[in-house]
Amino acid sequence: MSISLNNKAFHQSPYETYKEIRSHDEFAKVKLVSGLADSWVAFSYEAAEAVLKDNRFVKNPRNVFPDLHESELLPISYSMLFVDPPDHKRLRGLVQRAFTPKMIQRLQTRIEKIAQEQVEEIKGKDRVDLIAHYAFPIPIIVICELLGVPAEDRLDFQRWSNTMVELNEDPAFSQQVQEQMIEFQQYIEQLLVEKRRQPEEDLLSELIRAEEDGERLSIQELYGAIMLMIVAGHETTVNLIANGMLALFTNPEQMTKLKGDLTLIDGAIEEILRYNGPVEFSTDRYASESFTFMGKQLQKGDHVLVSLASADHDSAVFTEPESFDITREKSPHLAFGKGIHYCLGAPLARLEGKIAIQTLLQAFPNMSLDASLSDLEWRQSFVIRGLKELPVKVL
């Protein structure tokens, strides 16, 4: 079947499309971007899990396309998310010290304080965009404080991050991406100069000092690590919070159940991640050789993605997958991936999402959606699953 996922209607409501595709083909070629070769996409849970765990699918395009020019790559491509072993293990080892269970637990009090501060900002207002006034500020403050980024620069990071994850085929947008990435890189260069001159107790200073097996991060790897943590460190959590509140607004019996028993919050977070998670597709993979996979013949260099959103609605794994149930049995969802590239920041995202939603429900138990579902606009992205705005009545 001929499949195109590059349209606004799909982004607005993808799950019926996914269901239809899975009924025909669990691993299929699709058109993602006009003018480029089709991509293989895993749609079923079985296919998704197989791709995520198969080391024949590599992340670093330089390992497949030796003639690839460095100027064609964004700085984030030097981060651990876009490299393969042994570089992956080295880079992950340098960063993971900031995401130990002890470190995450230490952040809890600070996250609670930030959430409460944002609640105070909302009080007294009749109607707000919950993303701009709540879901965005919490994770961007957390990740910027963790890295040691000045508070006044947070909105710049949001702008750079949005540019990286948006889908737009307009040549003018491609030029904008290039310009903003240069701007971002220049900012990081200056920030690194300042951190080297005056190190502080933050992750950026730690990364500059970091050594793993006697090998420091290269300057490109440092840029990549910073860019990845800023994008992954707030984009996923913004949409976890906003998508979660939307799911609760549109499933009032589940909202009532959660407000009546906040001990259900952990299960609610897992169901939000499965039902309408913040990451729709995995990042790029490439076939490192020609081989047969799920009955399909792949050629070396073929582009491969995983639809995490589709896999998490597969009825072969999840009973009544289109139902939102915060008391669902333990869920093996793939919202944070699987295998060696499993999201390092997953515990932090879970904690931020839990605190943010719990705090909001306690402060505004009668808050409600102030728009019809058809009026809500989803961002055009093949990575992020998130709304542009989420208007609510505060009450």
Exposed, middle or buried by CB within 10 Å (0-12, 13-18, 19+), for 175?
A: exposed
CA 288 – CA 179 distance, rounded (Å)? 31
Neighbours of 173 (CB within 10 A): 13
CA 47 – CA 27 distance, rounded (Å)? 6
Say which amino acid occupies 234: H
Query: What separation, in Å, do the N-terminal and C-terminal C-alpha atoms of the chain show?
Result: 49
pLDDT at residue 103, as a whole number: 84
Cis check: omega of the bond before 86, within 30 degrees of 0:
yes
CA distances from 390 to 129, 131, 136 (A): 5, 6, 11
Q: Read off the tokens for 218.
A: 């290269």
pLDDT at residue 300, as a whole number: 96
Taken as a whole, the chain contains a residue count of 395
pLDDT at residue 93, as a whole number: 87
Q: Do β-strands 368-369 and 391-393 pair in parallel, antiparallel, or remain unpaired?
A: antiparallel
Answer yes or no: are the C-beta atoms of 57 and 286 closer than 8 Å: yes
Q: Read off the tokens for 325.
A: 């149930």
pLDDT at residue 3, as a whole number: 67
pLDDT at residue 94, as a whole number: 83
What's this model's pTM, rounded to 2 decimal places? 0.93
pLDDT at residue 110, as a whole number: 96
Q: Read off the tokens for 309.
A: 């959103």
Give 135's DSSP letter: I
pLDDT at residue 170, as a whole number: 64
- pLDDT, mean of each 10-residue run, the chain (395 residues): 73 92 94 80 98 97 88 83 93 84 89 98 96 94 90 84 69 77 87 90 84 68 85 89 98 98 98 97 96 97 97 97 95 95 94 98 97 93 91 95
Furthest C-alpha separation in the chain: 61
| List of domains in the chain | 8-393 (1.10.630.10)
Residue whose C-alpha is closest to residue 29's, from 313, 287, 380, 315: 287
